[in-house]
Amino acid sequence: MLAATRAHIEIFRGWLEQTGLAPSTVDRRLSTICGFYRFAHIDGHIVSNPAQCVGRPKVHPVEGRGLDRTELATFLFTAERVSPDHATLAVLLGLNGLRVSEACATALLR
């Protein structure tokens, strides 16, 4: 792995893109590789970083965001007023950072 060149990494990037992966997935995988070679260079295991100038796909920022403290407090308070089941689900989602699908999967285990 330490003998890889920029051409090897560019070929890998092309292969990732040809497999139909989303640009964000390709970017994450290349980010891991770039970090590996950056630290290998910093630690003196390689003379230069072959991933330094590798082209990365354009990734558009995601518009979604999480709740701020006030919104989360309102969400928890409202759920608590509806029922104990709603409050439990709200806590699982809000305080534990669960996805809705994960919370639903736990409900199926009951």
- ∠ CA 10-27-94 to the nearest 5 degrees? 165
pLDDT of residue 6: 94
The residue that leads in pLDDT, 45 or 109, is 45
- pLDDT above 90 (res 67): no
Three-state DSSP state, 74: helix
pTM value?
0.56
pLDDT of residue 110: 58
The total of other beta-carbon atoms located within 10 Å of residue 50's CB is 22
What lies within 8 Å, CB to CB, of 55 at 6+ separation is: 10, 13
